[in-house]
Amino acid sequence: MSWAAHDFETYVLQRHLQGRVSYLGILAGTYAPDALTKWYVYGVDKGPIEFGAQDPARFHRGWPGAGFTHSLLFCVLVAGVAYVASRRNKAWGYGMLVGALAHVLTDTNDTLGVMLFFPLSTEHVSTGMWAYAAGIGRYDDAGAYYSCLGLVMDTFWLAVALCYRRVLSVDYFRSVVVPVDPAWGWLGRRLPEVAMLAIYRTSFFYGTTRLIAWTVWAHVLHDYSWDLSWGGPDWVPAVHD
Amino acid sequence: MPDPARDAQPARDWRNADAPGDLRRYLLAGLAYIALGLVAKEVLAWWSYGMVFLLLAVWGLPAWRERLRRRARR
């Protein structure tokens, strides 16, 4: 899985498809595949309350399991639901579709990959660029991800988003983002613009701070070993299909 | 029936966004969030935490400080 790349992709997609997609739709789409499963993949351990998936990889990406959430069919389905729920707003349906597709395609880069063509096939599509290691827990997974090509992927998307930094400006927000999406109008009657801009910019803020914080945590506060080889890091038990 | 033309025009004030010093506010918020994340890693786990933090940093706290300042002037 990838960590901050999903946050930056939203702006790049918005920039390329401007005027045709809802930014909030893209945002919802990028979170849709993991929305209901990620917390269970890592599990919950709060004193007496302890539960989670016995086999996180199989639950997250496999079948039987919730692996169908990382398929092309799922992307189409959530887009359809968004289209209907938004009173047939094409910008929302389209945004949801490209957001979910971006998430699923980015996740093909770990060693486990995704069942892209489910239910026609349960075979996983994967480039194997970095290790899928959700089974070792959230924090060690972060340490592994930010010690391998996962960090390169996140940094690449941050750089691309910075190239398109105009999408973060107030002018772009007013002239491109707001007009295609009635949801901003609804929010605008309840919040001042400065708050709406903060919501719009949250993914960039969250992605950047998370990338930096996890990298500092892994390599300054702790001593996770770097391994920028394909499929690394080699010190983590990578899950394959 | 929803009116898209009306819905696209927020009724509240547009003018106060991106005032001078906003970039500095975002940068300070980012540094604070990174520091907080290093101490309490849970905040790095959820997008919604990031949104609430950013809303507080660039809107909630400055608005509250402004209100206190105005009250003190009276």
Q: Would you call B4 an interface residue with chain A, using a CB distance cutoff of 8 Å?
A: yes
Residues of chain A with C-beta less than 8 angstroms from the C-beta of B10: 178, 184-185, 187-189, 193, 196
Contact A164, A12 (CB under 8 A): yes
Q: Which residues of B touch A202 (CB under 8 A)?
A: 47, 50-51, 54
DSSP string, A179-221: TT-HHHHHHHTTS-HHHHHHHHHHHHHHHHHHHHHHHHIIIII
Which ipTM score applies to this complex?
0.93
Each residue's pLDDT tens digit, A108-166: 999 999 999 999 999 999 999 999 999 999 999 999 999 999 999 999 999 999 999 99
pLDDT at B12: 44
Inter-chain CB proximity A185 and B6 less than 8 Å: yes
Q: Where are the domains of chain B?
A: 42-74
- pLDDT per residue over B33-73, tens digit each? 999 999 999 999 999 999 999 999 999 999 999 999 999 98
Residues 6+ apart with CB under 8 A from A107: A1, A2, A33, A70, A113, A114
Identity of the residue in A195, A208, A214 whose CB atom sits nearest the CB atom of B59: A195
Beta bridge partners of A231: none
Contacting residues of A for B51, CB less than 8 Å apart:
198-199, 202, 206
Q: What does A62-90 look like in DSSP terms, one character per residue?
A: STTTTGGGGSHHHHHHHHHHHHHHTTS-H
Which chain A residues are within 8 Å of B44, Cβ to Cβ? 142, 209-210, 213-214
Residues found in chain B: 74
Neighbouring residues of A83: CB distance < 8 A, sequence distance ≥ 6? A89, A90, A92, A93, A96
- Tens digit of pLDDT for each residue in A162-187? 999 999 999 999 999 999 999 999 99
Q: Determine contact, residues B50/B33, Cβ cutoff 8 Å.
A: yes
